[in-house]
Every structure is written in structure tokens, then in C-alpha cells.
Amino acid sequence: MQSQDSKPAAGWFSPDGPLSRSLPRFEERAGQAEMAAAVETALREGRTLLAEAGTGTGKTLAYLLPVLLSGLKTVVSTGTKTLQDQILKKDLPALVPLLPEPVRAAGLKGKANYLCLRRFNDLEPEFAAGGGVGEAHLRGWARSTATGDRAELEDLPDPSPLWERVNVPGDACLGGKCPDFDDCFLTRARREASAADLVIVNHHLYLADLAVRESGYGAVIPPHEAVVFDEAHGLEDAATDYFGFAATPRRFEDLIRDATHFLSAARLLSAPANRLLIGLANAARSFFSLLASEEHPMRLTPAVVPVETRTRGGELAALTRNLVSTIGRPEGARDEAESLARRGERLAKDLASLVLAEDPSYVFWVDRKGRPALRASPIDVSSILGERIFSGDRAVVLTSATLAVAGRMDHLRARLGIDAAEEVVIASPFDYPRQALLYVPVGLPDPREPEFAARAAEEILAILERSRGRALVLFTSHQNLADIGNRIAGRVRFPLLRQGEQPRETLLARFRKEVDSVLLATGSFWEGVDVPGEALSCVIVDRLPFDSPGDPVLAARIDRIREGGGNPFLAYQVPQAAIALRQGLGRLIRSSEDRGVLVVLDRRLATKSYGRIFRKALPPCPFTTRIEDVEKFFGEWVNG
């Protein structure tokens, strides 16, 4: 890609610029041009830029255009695969034809998103004999797909046991030693990314790539001169996941299954080998059952790891190493044997470290969400990210609608290890004083009190009557969703949709179509939900989104800040919760025509001193503690 800087990027956003002449419904936004100019400078000078862009700024085009004009090999890393696909399928096709020179762009996802030809070919006879609808659909798609990307299978549930049998199998992938390597969909995607000027990935893949580079397993993402992190507020959480390690039932099951298949195919499945596999499976089940016990401590340190846990973990690691020795390096199948051996050795090493729980830079903990697992997470990722992303002369742009807390980005800099950086805060173009109202019912009990759920349910019913449905109710936990959801079910005269009843995109489609519906949700619905128009006229949040005090990673970070003489509540917990609250309430106003009410059912927002930090972080709209003002707001809307 040759530099095409004959016209500054900001000029493209002017009323007579190329975008105005070429894109339908393009609107000039001063903030968009300001952000584009800041990104262009950062790319040209090889600097780090922190760019908060309020909802409606048009931040995606504001960074994509300078990137495309820069002449730099660039990676854009998104917070979700949904945004990744949007850039590839919507934004880039609109921009690339306007450029004076052709630009090659490619998308790249993690291994598990691609069909593995070797596994599919092995299983196709079984699928054909089974004759199930899912298997038949998968077989038809596998024969016709050009990308092997599971995103093309729109009806495939997530997670899908069927897909997990045929996708590229993580560390079981043979890579260049696979007989289907040249035709492999993952290989093709990586080749296209290597040849492209612009590569679109997601945070999980970008950070996984940094992690495997460190472990010596080779790079996935091609060398690049600049990187843009969109939805950068999620970077710390993603890094916590990918720079940790774990021992899970799934890792053992996959290893045992693949080892059994290999030994059988190589005619090495002797009676002793079979007994070893059975013993390993039984030992794994016994070990993870031990972790499932409520009496077992969740956060582990050398002083509190139960003797039985350490003993059984050591025995399980030894059996895993015995399996590696049994596999050996047989003639004619050495490549696959070596791949299995690497997996076994790594799993045994991880488990041995986990049951010792000795490394002070990690928090060791039992994960009981779903099937129990043993995990280690870095307590502080700032030094890792500071060294591997922000220490060189490569241009780095971080952007999101929520980077600052009370107008400052100190929290983000500290958590991500950013020393030198330019900052720009672009206000939303929306007229929040006219378009929105913030309501906090101070008469409710504190959310930590037992009677809160019952009173909150009554308050939600009262609000929904005034909003005539048309509401997204966001909960900070699945337990709160179930409790309050059950209390209002059957009492709401509007269609009631609940997360978990249908796939996410199906629920959102119904929510948009059934204008007076009410959607109860948690988790992923706090971000990435875009429902402009009347269907979303009220966002209700059950409580300030502080992370659970029982979360081991949070507890370890609180301890670390306190040991350093800091105030963990104000230095970490409040800023994290403020950013999460901004994300949730940011679902409401998505266009200049939208109007609506933001509701937080947590009186602490109005009564506690730290509530001012939260309110200062929220859009500048009128604030009330009276439901009569909510009624008046919606009444004025109806009456025009």
C-alpha cells in the first residue's frame, strides 16, 4: 500500500469531501474529523493515542480512513467478532472504492472459528451414516464454503458440540505437518493476512498471538507497523484471560480422545496403554470433582492448597507424563505423535504449577462457572502490555466510547502500562439534555439488602407502565436476572424477552421488531447492542456494576493495590464500575432522533460521595429522583 496523503484525512469528512459525495446519508460531524486528524498524526509520528469518542461520533470511519491513507501495514483489533465482521463486510467495502489506490484487507480469527478439513474428512462417514439435520447441513456447507468460517453458519448455536468436533483443534493442530495444510482454511486466512495491507482481528486473537510468541510457538498475526484497538476498554480483561493458564476437564478429555485415536490408528493401543488411558480419565474426573466441592477453597495460595488437591494434582500430572512416554515417536506418524506429546507435556506442566500456587505474580483459583477448572490469572497485566505493545516506536491507537473516568484517562494508563501517550476526548454529538433523563429512585433499599429484589421488581413494573414497555433491563448477575425476572413475569402487559430463552441475535431481532417489548439481559448485552429508534426508549440497570467481591482476581488486585499503599475502592473498583455503567447506559441514545430514560435502581448513585464520580462519567442529561418526572418525560414525548 503506497502512501496516499495528498489530502489530509480530516478533509475527507468535510461537507464537500469524498465521503459526503459518495456515501448515502453521510452527515458531517466535527468530532469525527477531529478524531481522524488525531489518528493521522499518531500514525505518521509513531505515537500512542488514546481517543475516547462519544456515541454517535462515527469512530470506526474516523480511524479506518487515516489507516487506509497512511501507507502503513496495520492491524485493527476489535472487542468482538461481531464488530470485526461489520468492519470487513460493511465499513471497508464502502471506503475502499473511494481510495485512489487499491487496498488489500483481510480478516483473521482464532483457530476454533475455522473448519478443520482433516477432522471433517475423518468424521464425514459418521455424519453421513447418522443422517441428522445438523450433520447434513454441516456437510453441505463444508463442501461449498470458500472460507470455512463458522460465522457463515448463522443458525449454529454457540456453543455447539457438533462444531467443536470439526473445528481447528487449538494446540492439537498439526500446522505445516498436516496432510491438508495447503487446502486448510486457516492456512488460507493467514496467507491472505500476510499479504494484506490491513488485517482485522479481535482482542482475543491479538493477545493470544502475543502469548504464543512468548511461549515459542510461533506468530499468528503478521508483522505490522501500526495497531488500532477498538473497544479498548476491554483490553485488560482480555489480557487477563490470555496471559493466564488453566487445567480444565476439556483439555484432559481432548488429549485422551486424540491419544486413543492415534494409538489405535498406529496399532499401538496395547492392554497397558489402554489401562493407562482409563486410569488417566478416572484420575481427571476424580480431581475435578474434588475442586467442585463447596468446602474447597476458591482462591489458592501455597498455605491454603489442600494436601489432597496437591497430591491428586501431582498424580494426575505424572499420569499425563506417562501417556507422553507411551505415545513415543513411532515411525510413519512422528509428526502427530510430537504434537500430542507437546500438548501432554504442557498440560502436565500447567497442572503442576497450578497445584503449587507459588508464583506471586499470579492469582490461583478454582473456576466453578460451569464445569470446575483450575486457573492462574496475572494480577497485573500492565507490565506485560507495556513491554509488548507500548514500548516500541510502532503507532498504537486505543479508542472506545468509554476510556475516561470523570474526564481523565489515568485509570486506563495505569491498568494497561501506558507511559507516553496523546489523549483526545470527543464528545458525543447527541443532545443529551434534550434527549435523555437520568432517574434514580432513592426510596429503594440498598441493593445489598434482602428486600431489594422485591422492591426493585415493583419499581421496574411502575417504570415499564410509564415507558409503555420499550425497555432493556440490564442485570449485574444471572441470579438477579432470574430473581427479579420471575417476580415480574406474568405481571408485565408487554412482550417479555429473557436472555437464555433464544440466541442473542434472535432476541435482539425480536426486540427491534416488537416495539413495545421488554428485554431482560446481562453479560454481553451490556455492550454491542445497537437498537436505534422507539423500540429502545428506556434502559434500566439493577445496580452499580461493581465486580463481585468474591471474584478471586478482583480480590488479588485489591490486595496488591492495598499493599502498595493505595485505596483499591477509589483507585480500581469505582473506575471499573463507572466504565461498565457508561457502557450499559450507552445502549439508549443511538441516533439524533432517539429519546429515552436512563434508570439506575441503586440509590448509592445519588446518596454516596462516590456517586458523583459515576454521575460525572455519564452523559450530561437532567437528573431526577422522582418517578413523576419520568412520567412527564414520556408524556411530553407522546404529546409532541
Q: From the centroid of its chain, how far is CA 32?
A: 25
- 79-135 residue pLDDT tens: 888 888 889 999 999 898 998 888 999 999 988 899 999 888 888 888 887 667 778
Pairing label, strands 422-426, 48-53: parallel
Considering only residues 502 and 236, tell me which one the structure prediction assigns the higher pLDDT. 236
Establish how many alpha carbons lie within 13 A of residue 312's alpha carbon, considering only the half-sphere containing its beta carbon.
18
Does residue 367 surpass a pLDDT of 70? yes
Domain 432-638 has CATH 3.40.50.300: yes
- 470-492 residue pLDDT tens: 999 999 999 999 999 999 999 99
Q: Do the domains spanning 1-104+196-243+381-429 and 432-638 agree at the CATH topology level?
A: yes
Local structure of residue 361 (DSSP, 8 states): T
- 389-440 residue pLDDT tens: 998 889 999 999 999 988 889 999 999 999 999 999 999 999 999 999 999 9
pLDDT mean across residues, the chain:
90
Type of residue at 505: E
Q: Are 595 and 435 in contact (CB under 8 A)?
A: yes
What is the average per-residue pLDDT within 202-219? 77
Query: Which residue from 145, 18, 197 is spatially nearest to 94, judged by alpha carbons?
Result: 18
Q: Return d(Cα 520, Cα 512) in angstroms, integer.
A: 14
For the CA atoms of 135, 137, 141, 142, the dihedral, rounded to the nearest 10 degrees, stands at 10
Q: Are 358 and 295 in contact (CB under 8 A)?
A: no
pLDDT band at 376 (very low <50, low <70, confident <90, very high): very high
Query: Which residue from 615, 603, 608 is spatially nearest to 578, judged by alpha carbons?
Result: 615
Percent share of the chain, pLDDT over 70: 96
Indicate the SS3 state at residue 376.
Answer: strand
Q: Return d(Cα 374, Cα 522) in angstroms, integer.
A: 25
pLDDT score recorded for residue 528: 80
- 596-615 residue pLDDT tens: 999 999 999 999 999 999 99
The packing angle between helices 334-356 and 249-265, to 10°, is 150
- Strand-by-strand arrangement of the 436-439 sheet: 496-498, 518-521, 471-474, 538-541, 596-600, 436-439, 623-624
How is the chain split into domains, by residue range?
Answer: 1-104+196-243+381-429, 245-375, 432-638
Question: Exposed (0-12), middle (13-18) or buried (19+): which is 602, by Cβ within 10 Å?
Answer: buried
CATH domain 1-104+196-243+381-429 topology: Rossmann fold (3.40.50)
Lowest model confidence (mean pLDDT) among 93-97, 213-217, 535-539: 213-217
pLDDT score recorded for residue 7: 67
Pairing label, strands 538-541, 496-498: unpaired
Q: Are 580 and 545 in contact (CB under 8 A)?
A: yes
CA angle 165/168/169 to nearest 5° reads 70
Three cell numbers, residue 636: 411530553
Does residue 181 surpass a pLDDT of 90? no
CA angle 159/160/165 to nearest 5° reads 125
| Residue 639: φ, ψ to 5° | -85, 0
